[in-house]
Amino acid sequence: MSAADGHWAGQAERGSPALMRLTAWAARTLGRRAVAPVVWLVVLYFYAFGARARRAIAQYQRRLARSGELAAPLPRAFPVYRQYLAFAGAMLDKLDVWQGKITMARLDMEDPDGLHAQMGRGRGQILVGSHLGNIEICRALAEQSGALRLNVLVHSKHAVHFGRLLNEAGGGLRMIQVSELDAPVMLDLAQRLERGEWLAIAGDRVPLQGDRTIPVDFLGAAALLPQGPWLLAGLLRCPVNLLFCTRHGTRYRVSMERLSDGIEWTRATRQAHIAGWAQRYADRLAAHCRQAPLQWFNFYPFWKDDA
């Protein structure tokens, strides 16, 4: 990623709040099928005038195709635009699930470590997600069932308009700003874990402080991942799990797996341990990307050699 590209968090959120609200209202009132043509036009606009994002997605698709066997081949016609369409569908899914239009009956669970049964019992844990698929589905269903209080750690300045839309849809979001892991933030997170709440954080977005990163091999090339999830896990001394939710037809595949019962490091071993856990995460993310090739929604230069 070149310096000229700038940091992803510094990019202004695109799109008119009024248009986003109108589209959300139409989806609620008229249904997804009625608003689909409008969504396609909006997506076409961003596709046509977002050269930087188009290049980033095309680079991802090339690396993905070279990295190993895919569960389904990338589309031969307009593959980058198809990824835009998948992203638009994921946004509508987020609105649908908070309105109760998506239920547990549409989920296929992969939970070999029995993590679902641990939710709401005992001390909280960490879920490391990604921009693959739509983990909002999992969070909404957990909230609606009352089985779990899940806090999402974010850079809250990003995508504020869409966050408001989800609140209007009944989301009741609990987002916690974690640009700085200072003492008050860490104390608050530790108290939430003690109350049995879980924390969710994305592991594939470089933080605002660009030096808090670790290099990994992702889809065959060097990329930078944030140290944040693994620093948090070591400081909070709690189990760390991976969560992925991808759409397959009309159903959603939820994959939950234990990554570690507890990550421990000292000042002397911190970098080596964090590098190891970040690479394990990158390997698992790559494997899930191959299962859902069009559903990794990163629209920024990601690899170190991206121009």
**CA 74: distance to chain centroid?**
21
pTM of the predicted model as reported, rounded to 2 decimal places: 0.85
Say if residues 271 and 106 touch (Cβ distance below 8 Å).
no
d(CA 65, CA 219): 9
Q: In what order do the strands lie in the sheet with 150-154?
A: 107-110, 251-260, 240-248, 126-129, 198-202, 150-154, 175-177
- Mean pLDDT, rounded, of the chain: 82
φ, ψ dihedrals at 45, nearest 5°: -60, -50
Is 74's pLDDT higher than 90?
yes
How far lies 292's CA from each of 84, 133, 221, in Å?
Answer: 14, 8, 20
| pLDDT confidence band for 305 (50 / 70 / 90) | confident
How far lies 108's CA from each of 104, 115, 163, 223, 237, in Å?
Answer: 9, 15, 27, 31, 30
pLDDT in tens, 210-246: 568 899 999 999 999 999 899 999 999 999 999 999 9
pLDDT in tens, 122-157: 899 999 999 999 887 887 777 666 667 888 887 655
How far lies 72's CA from each of 76, 248, 288, 295, in Å?
Answer: 12, 11, 12, 12
More confident of the two residues 140 and 203: 203
Say if residues 203 and 281 touch (Cβ distance below 8 Å).
yes
Which amino acid belongs to residue 256?
M
More confident of the two residues 212 and 179: 212
Q: Which residue is associated with the tokens 């991942």?
A: 225
